[in-house]
Copies of this chain bind each other. A is one copy, B any other.
Amino acid sequence: MAETKPVNLAVVGATGAVGEKIIQLLENRDFPINELKLLSSKRSAGKKVSFRNQELTVEEAQPESFRNVDIALFSAGGSVSKKLAPEAVKHGTVVIDNTSAYRMDQNVPLVVPEINEADIRLHQGIIANPNCSTIQMAAALKPVQDAFGLSRVIVSTYQAVSGAGNAANDELENQTRQFLNGEEMTAAQLPVKDESSHYPVAFNALPQIDTFQENGYTFEEMKMINETKKILHHDDLAIAATCVRLPIFTSHAESVYLNVDQQDVTVSDIWDVLEKTEGIVLQDNPDTQTYPMPLSSSDKEDVFVGRVRKDLDEANGFHLWVVSDNLIKGAALNTIQIAEHLNNHNWF
């Protein structure tokens, strides 16, 4: 690969859960940065952040912030992306957007580099990072699809609160303390901050992530359904999702049922293709009680897969359990990987 040019990089939403993780991952990553610009809302501007032996000051994100910025990583919420991403593009900046604002836009590539790196070069200024729960599932499905064909997916998720940001993390911790102190638990963030009802997530399960759509599915469920089809280039995939928020700080887990096209596939065949896939770690041994869990998967970059079982009734049916850190591969790392592929190939 040709030598890569150091870039001027901006992080929008630098003080949020994903922004913080992006800065933390960039610190030790072999990504050539000329200048790092940290941007946030007016409220968080002025904060100091240390990065590669420098002290950086967070600035308020403005339309003119993107002058001379080569790549901007957005994770400050959909409304900020809708307002500022087009401004950044006007300055020639390539935006990698970690919100749902542009994911289903047909002019915007939706990318998990291990799956559809080539889509990056089709960008017209904006590249979208998929939803956290989508990325890890698609990462596990892709090698199966390539090897055996894929016709059907039914997923039920076990999602961490950090997917709803630092305030949701704080809320879970606070509710847990309240419960142990015998106090009533108070809720203001989950399931959806801007909706009217809030329920404690501590010692509970909330079968709502994001707002309900007209068809009775939540937006999170429709993200998993639509984004997976787009990333896998598989419009005909029959796919359904039920998304549930749980009292877990970090790492989403997913119970995935799938049908492959071939009828003679074995569990060993599935293991083989998963084991050979970059970014996937197979943890699957009932004899040693080995399987992925959120606590063991947190702060790690891989997607962990276990509990691979053949369905007892359908010869082409399999069950998987997929776990990954929702802030790393589910957000910050995938965003950075898109930026690295963009830069390495000079696909500006």
Contacts and interface: CB of A to CB of B under 8 A. Distances in A.
Interface of A: 152, 154, 156, 158, 173, 176-177, 180, 191, 195-197, 199-200, 203-208, 212, 215-217, 225, 238-240, 242, 244, 246-249, 253, 255, 257, 267, 286-289, 291-296, 306-314, 317, 319, 321, 323
Given A205-B293, A217-B309, 19 more contacts: A152-B313, A158-B158, A158-B205, A158-B244, A197-B289, A199-B296, A200-B295, A203-B247, A203-B248, A204-B248, A204-B293, A205-B246, A205-B294, A206-B293, A207-B292, A208-B289, A216-B310, A240-B311, A244-B255
A312 B240 contact: yes
Contacts of A195: 289
B203 A295 contact: yes
Given A203-B249, A294-B203, A319 B242 contact: yes
Contacts of A244: 158, 253, 255
A257 B256 CA distance: 12
25 contacts: A154-B154, A156-B156, A158-B158, A173-B180, A180-B180, A197-B288, A199-B293, A205-B294, A205-B323, A207-B293, A207-B307, A207-B321, A208-B289, A212-B289, A215-B309, A216-B310, A238-B313, A240-B257, A240-B311, A240-B319, A242-B319, A242-B321, A246-B247, A247-B247, A255-B255
Contacts of A321: 207, 242
A191 B255 contact: no
Contact of A176 (B176, B257, B295, B319): B176
Nearest to A151: B313
| Closest 7 A/B residue pairs (Cβ) | A212-B286, A238-B313, A156-B156, A156-B255, A197-B289, A242-B255, A204-B295
A238 B314 contact: yes
Q: Count copies of this chain in the complex.
A: 2
A159 to B, nearest CB: 10
A158 B246 contact: yes
Contact of A216 (B203, B267, B317): B267
Contacts of A267: 216
A317 B323 CA distance: 26
B313 A240 contact: yes
A112 B294 CA distance: 35
A255 B154 CA distance: 11
A70 to B, nearest CB: 39
Nearest to A312: B240
A64 to B, nearest CB: 40
B257 A294 contact: no
Contacts of A311: 240
Nearest to A289: B197
Contacts of A257: 154, 240, 257
Nearest to A292: B207
A207 to B, nearest CB: 5
B295 A199 contact: yes
A183 B200 CA distance: 24
A73 to B, nearest CB: 28
A314 B151 CA distance: 12
Nearest to A308: B216
